[in-house]
Amino acid sequence: MIPLPPNTRLMADAEATAHAAAEHLIAAVTRASGERAAVCLSGGSTPKRLYALLASPGFVERVPWERVHWFFGDDRVVPWDDPLSNVRMVREAFGHAAPLPPTHLHFIPSDEGAEAGARAYEAVLKDFHGVEALDPARPLFDLVLLGLGSDGHTASLFPGKPALDERVAWVAPVPEAGMEPYVPRITLTFPTLASSRSVLFLVNGAAKRDPLLRLSRGEDLPAAHVASAGGLTWFIDRDAAEDVSA
Ligand SMILES: O=C(O)[C@H](O)[C@@H](O)[C@H](O)[C@H](O)COP(=O)(O)O
């Protein structure tokens, strides 16, 4: 077994990860104070099954859809109907079964390009939360979902890319991705992701053994910079956790 991050729950497989994450998300938004809950969604392939589960019988009736607002931790600068778009992935996963009020899905506006999109999304976040600056006493998100790239990136925070240095901007353009797909991206920055009551990493599959091992050795990978007011939780499946060198 690879040395795993603190507060890791080991999952039998990807399906178990999705089910546990659905329960975790429902608990997080149910206990959220106030009339609205804010969830920051991860992109990529890992969370697709989770999003589809949330819209399926047994879960869809338990999600307080009228209270939850869904944001994006990052997206690719492509049209919203592009197969690479995280917005498209989420909409397809939720499908028509999720009674999602259209105004509750807050896309990252990428049609004006990465720079303008980042500034526009920062305004969306500030307007939604009614704040001009990040306030530790008022986390933006009740839950942030994140994935782990095989190079140790998370959201679109890639090793050595400018967004890593954004300490002021809430949202940053990433001129070209460090990983497939090689398209410009827009990403929330570390301080914005940290403005959360909790962060949940979902990590499945053998391709994630290497970044997990590198994180365990203390390598300065982007995922190692993620913090949260309420702490980090990792759901890692056995395929990712197995150490082939053992
Ligand atoms: O837009 C994206 O691609 C994601 O935000 C990205 O950070 C993703 O979470 C990781 O690359 C893992 O991707 P997989 O889940 O596809 O392995």
Q: Which two tokens stand for residue 165?
A: 């240095």
pLDDT tens per residue across span 167-179: 678 898 888 777 7
Torsion of CA 145, 227, 126, 71, to 10 degrees: -10
Instruction: Give residue limits of the domains in the chain.
Output: 12-131+149-200+208-222
pLDDT in tens, 60-117: 999 999 999 999 999 999 999 999 999 999 999 999 999 999 999 999 998 889 999 9
Q: Does 74 contact ligand 1 (Cβ within 6 A)?
A: yes
CA count, 13 A, side-chain hemisphere, 224: 15
Separation between Cα atoms, residue 207 and residue 154, nearest integer Å: 14
Which pTM does this prediction carry? Answer: 0.96
Q: What is the pLDDT of residue 198?
A: 97
Amino acid identity of residue 173, one-letter, is P
Rounded to an integer, what distance in angstroms lies between the CA atom of residue 121 and that of residue 123?
5
Which atom number of ligand 1 is nearest to the Cα of residue 185?
A: 1
Q: CA separation (Å) from 226 to 77, 111, 114, 154, 183?
A: 23, 28, 22, 9, 23
Whole-number pLDDT of residue 166: 65
Atom 4, ligand 1: which residue's CA is nearest?
43
- CATH for the 12-131+149-200+208-222 domain, from 3.30.70.150, 3.40.50.1360, 3.20.20.70, 3.20.20.150: 3.40.50.1360
Beta carbon of 174 within 6 Å of any ligand 1 atom: no
* Pocket lining: 204 vs ligand 1, CB cutoff 6 Å: no
Residues of the chain with pLDDT under 50: none
**Is residue 187 within 6 Å of ligand 1 at its C-beta?**
no
